[in-house]
Structure 1
């Protein structure tokens, strides 16, 4: 497999490419939000900020293999704790799932997080996405807490997982 890289991306220059990727990965997007991806979904990818942070704390990356965008990742630095990196989304083209792409991306994220002084990776995974739960736990993430759906939430039960760096 050709080397996987993470390329920083931004809304102004890369929204159309991000939408194209989200449309290829519509199976996950539809599971998550109950409809096909659109530009609102992409805007949220680039702009959704956890409590207490600003967009300055967000890092968006395209997962690249040569010139092909295989996925995208968004990370919030400093959520929940100052030395945490929160993986808000890792979305991969279905054609590249189960082929080591996710593992390669996670390896690159770990390296970047360590260089930035992070000591913990955290994320939430939809309980309705058992393949993702299996992936993350196989990669060394352990349960941090269970987050059941509430009347104010999007209706998904989630597992919050953590991984010590």
Structure 2
């Protein structure tokens, strides 16, 4: 069973748990940025947001199997449209990938988003992360455009789906 809890940057324990997830999913930063995970990933997870959005529009979550945080996600509300959430990142430790936790986590995020009144979800996948792209496609996301960002090792594939 997977549970979700909000995280706080002010909690040393939450920050350490997020860093552990990044370290335990080291192939993610290698694939999308060509480098190992670092403390800067934790800062970006807690504080990274579109320039047009306020920090109050961002919520970060931990996903737990029992007492252990095995994954994390961040959500920007009302972005890029008023009825849409943006999933900035959803990441699980490699030992917990491929076990159904991603699908369960997405369901939990969609349940929250629906109670907040949102109808669609968008995200961007780096083209070099084929496994993530395949996951999002299986979950019903469809490509709506492509973009580039010098920070990443490949094109950004922007995807969208309805929140049901």
Two-structure CA RMSD over aligned residues (Å): 1.2
Distance in 2 (CA, whole Å) between partners of 1:47 and 1:134 is 27
Query: Structure 1 stretch 28-37 or stretch 58-67: which is displaced more?
Result: 28-37
Matched, 1:138 2:138: yes
- Per the TM alignment, residue 153 of structure 1 is displaced from its structure 2 partner at its CA by 4.7
Which runs of no fewer than 5 residues in structure 2 stay unpaired? none
TM-score by length of 2: 0.93
Matched, 1:101 2:91: no
Aligned-partner SS, 2:110: helix
Matched, 1:42 2:42: yes
- Per the TM alignment, residue 102 of structure 1 is displaced from its structure 2 partner at its CA by 0.4
Distance in 1 (CA, whole Å) between partners of 2:62 and 2:3 is 8
In the other structure, the counterpart of 2:160 is 162
Paired residues in the alignment total 161
Which runs of no fewer than 5 residues in structure 1 stay unpaired? none
Ranges of 4+ aligned residues in structure 1 off by more than 3 Å:
152-155
TM-score by length of 1: 0.93
Distance in 2 (CA, whole Å) between partners of 1:68 and 1:34 is 28
